[in-house]
Amino acid sequence: MGNEGAVVDASVMASWIFGEPRAARAKSLLAGKALYAPKLMGYELAHVASKKAARHPELTQKILQALGLAMRLDINWVDVDLVAASNMAIAENLTAYDASYLWLARKMGVTLLTFDEKLLRAAGKKRKY
């Protein structure tokens, strides 16, 4: 049998690739899993990188290298049904961005890896949309 699949969100991926305080926890969550993410995550990681570089210009090259590495990881990038994700966002009082991760995890029937408490609570609910 192959690796266990999981949807990873930007909070976990950014923690790992940018060496944030929860990097070790993120790495352990990601280990041995086939990773899936909405294509949106690439843009979210780029946003985090640009904010970090603005705060720490001396680290810009290192930050961009980390972003480049993340984009080359073996992540299965998936298109999201925006209408379904929007419906989920409304029902769960989430942002459309967060609902995209939740929608994908529910569609695939896999775990959602996130450090976002509100998203974790929504992921724990069993609802039909």
Model pLDDT for residues 4-25, shown as the tens digit of each residue: 899 999 999 999 999 999 999 9
Residue 126, pLDDT score: 57
Say how far apart CA 88 and CA 83 lie, in whole Å.
9
Would you kindly state where each structural domain of the chain is located, as residue ranges? 4-124
Residue 71 has pLDDT above 70, yes or no: yes
**Residues 42-46: contacts with CB under 8 Å, at least 24 apart:** 42/71, 42/77, 44/10, 44/14, 44/97, 45/10, 45/13, 45/14, 45/17, 45/70, 45/71
Residue 69 has pLDDT above 80, yes or no: yes
Residue 128, pLDDT score: 46
Q: What is the mean pLDDT of the chain?
A: 93
For residue 129, the 8-state DSSP code is -
Q: Pick the closest to residue 73 from 28, 8, 2 (CA basis).
A: 8
Residue 127 has pLDDT above 70, yes or no: no
Percentage of residues in the chain having pLDDT higher than 70: 94
CATH value of 4-124 in 3.40.50.150, 1.10.3720.10, 3.40.50.1110, 3.40.50.1010? 3.40.50.1010
Average pLDDT on 81-106 reads 96
Residue 124 confidence class, pLDDT cut points 50, 70, 90:
confident
For residue 47, the 8-state DSSP code is H
